[in-house]
Structure 1
Amino acid sequence: MTLSCDFRPPFWLPNGDAETLWAPFFSRSERVPLRRELWTTPDDDQIAVDWVDGDPQAPAVVLFHGLGSSSRGHYSLALAAALQARRWTGCLVNFRGCGGLDNRKPRAYHAGDSDEIAWIVERLQRSFSTLYAVGVSLGGNALLKYLGEERGDHLTAAVAVCAPVDLVATAAHIAQRPLYERYFVRTLQRQMGHYASRYPDLVDWQAVHSARTLRAFDDAFTAPVHGFRDALSYWQQGSSGPGLARVRVPTLLINSRNDPIVPLADVAKWQRSAAVQTCFTDRGGHVAYVQGSFPGHTRYLPQQILRFFDGDTPDAKA
């Protein structure tokens, strides 16, 4: 069977900006009970993992969220509801410092953190014979980087949604969109309050809090904390695009042509292995894909994701 990549939003969402901003703030939110566990990381930090409990014999899906989000993001809950309906298990990972849980260590999370993906997948594969993975935006790039390092043998298949596979190009694009850049920077700075009080000598906190661009923030915090020379070095080394040609696990890239944050051209330009398929839609915004009567719902993405996991392939338009 084929997976249709034809998506049409409601008439009252006329462009990618409207779709992107509407989805998290105004679309109908799914209500799903989640069971929380706290996991200790290999370096003795901790993360929160929220579960959708399913049939023990059914497949499991692990979700890695985007920048500044959590297991409570609109797309996370939409996927959780779809998994609950199937009685599949859902593992909604909150990256370090996300989901209302503070870090024990200075290390945070970042777009190229394939090692974090690796230990989580390896832990899950001990419990589930069929394990799928979904990465969204930043989490999608981290997942694809892990797969491109040929470390994905524990996964049956994977989906990356609106992943910024070229971090240098994406950062340059966002720098031209002040609304989005200020939102991302402020979101990151809000997360820094806990870090600054616990690790006063970690970085130049004045530079972190005065940053007005992603480059300035990543120069002041992300790069030095995670061992990169500067923001550019982090973006270059963290990009998953160069590894797409080495991906061995069946993988689907879902992107929209009107995404205001991740330009499709910066995704499509990379050579991909035969295992990587694409579903490039004309509309959808950035991780939005709102459909239905006002105020709309976000069920399109989980439907596409689960159809791919069922074995459906994208149509020729993709």
Structure 2
Amino acid sequence: MPLLPTPSYTTSLLLSNGHVQTLYPPLFRKVAILDAERVRIATHDDDFLDLDFLPATAEAACPNADGVRARPLVIISHGLEGHSRRKYVRGMAACMNAAGWDVCAWNFRGCSGETNRALRMYHSGVTDDLHTVISYCAERGYARIALAGFSMGGNQILKYLGEHPAAVHPAIVAAATFSVPCDLVGAAKVLDRPSNSIYMRYFMRSLKEKMRKKKELHPELNIEGLDDMKTFAEFDNQFTAPIHGFRDAMDYWQRCGCGQFLSALRVPALLVNAKNDPFLSPTCYPVYTARASEFLHLEMPVTGGHVGFIRNHEDGCYWSDLRAVEFLRQHL
């Protein structure tokens, strides 16, 4: 029954508010810029994905004579409108390297700084691209691979592990995810609240710019009304749903939330959702599923915000980074 006790994570009263926990890291967190090997790989539909490899040591960058790498690899998935060089990704990567593990931080389609070629983009339910990344990493010689993801990236990971358990790549041994909107319908309603308008404006501004660039590559794309859009429902109804084969935004949200797949997990997976996360609805805390599951390990800290979990320490690691290392170490 991996419904874990409430973690001991705490922070100062000044930083305990969910919005403060959410906004502080992107504004004030200091993370070293890590040297990475940028690799572009092809997808099955003649598109591309950009991956950043960060070995724990120079020796780890090369496989042995048999083509097998002795060190494990952690693949990190970013969140909505993020990329591989966000502070939360770089912070996690640095802590994974410190634990002795190599890292692959990958970018969803169109998130590496260059618009992807295909009309399709990324969305909360995309799992084929993640499998492509895993397969490529396994071909590079990694026999033990763990997954780590934030928000949308965490949703993709848990959906991947649960939707077709028998098809999960055999190199995958465990996963650690944080701030995951397990129920996309509920999370969309929460983000529509006036108190979350600052986040919605940020996401919509970024998504709109991506669609304008996509229009340059695909003139047939209808972007009429784009400038007036204010919600995910408007954006997903016009773009995400029809482009990716969903009936509408509601159909997309209902089919892509990872909550419905969690009971089928066959790989140990940590899910950490703070109780004061301003992005999540009550349905994003799968307590009953965790109680009945051998593989889903659910933790619900009292505070933490959305991809927050602030921890001011000289090593630069946040609490979520250390918790991921602690959990994955049991399996790597």
Query: Which sits farther off after the overlay, 61-70 or 83-92?
Result: 83-92
Whole-angstrom CA distance in 1 between matches of 2:155 and 2:42? 23
Aligned ranges for residues 239-318 of structure 1 at < 5 Å?
A: 239-263=257-281, 265-269=283-287, 271-272=289-290, 273-292=293-312, 297-311=316-330
Question: Residue 187 of structure 2 aligns to a residue in which SS?
Answer: helix
Root-mean-square deviation over aligned CA pairs: 2.1
Alignment gaps of 5+ in structure 2:
61-68
The alignment's TM-score, normalised by the length of structure 2, stands at: 0.88
Q: 2:136 — aligned with what? A: 123
C-alpha distance in 1 between matches for 2:46 and 2:12: 47
- Residue 120 of structure 2 is aligned to residue 107 of structure 1: yes
Structure 1 unmatched runs, 5+: 313-318
Structure 2 vs 1, CA of residues 91 and 302 (structure 1 numbering), >3 Å: closer, same or farther? same
Map of 2:39 onto structure 1 = 37
Task: Tell me the CA shift for residue 186 of structure 1.
Answer: 1.5
With over 3 angstroms needed to count, the CA separation of the structure-2 counterparts of 1:284 and 1:106, relative to structure 1, is same
**Deviation per CA, 1:163-207, whole angstroms, max 9, x where unpaired?**
1111011001111132222222122112222101111212x2023
Percent pairwise identity: 32
* 2:82 matches 1:64: no
> Any idea what SS the aligned residue of 2:213 has?
helix
Match of 2:13 in 1: 11
Amino acid at match of 2:183: D
Counterpart of 1:196 in structure 2 is: 215
The one-letter code of the counterpart of 1:29 is V
Which residue identity lines up with residue 161 of structure 1 in the other structure?
F
For residue 140 of structure 1, what is the aligned residue in structure 2?
154
Amino acid across the alignment from 2:159: K
Task: State the Cα deviation string for residues 240-266 of structure 1 (Å, max 9, x = none).
Answer: 111100000011001101100123542
| CA distance in structure 1 between the aligned counterparts of 2:7 and 2:202, rounded to whole angstroms | 29
1:293 Cα shift?
6.6
What amino acid is aligned across from residue 289 of structure 2 in structure 1?
Q
The alignment status of 1:74 with 2:87, answered yes or no, reads yes
Count of matched residue pairs: 309
What is the CA distance between 1:119 and its match in structure 2? 2.0
- Alignment partners' CA distance in 2, 1:81 and 1:226: 34
Tell me which stretches of 4 or more aligned residues in structure 1 moved more than 3 Å: none
Return the TM-score normalized by structure 1. Answer: 0.91
Q: Which residue of 1 aligns with 2:65?
A: none
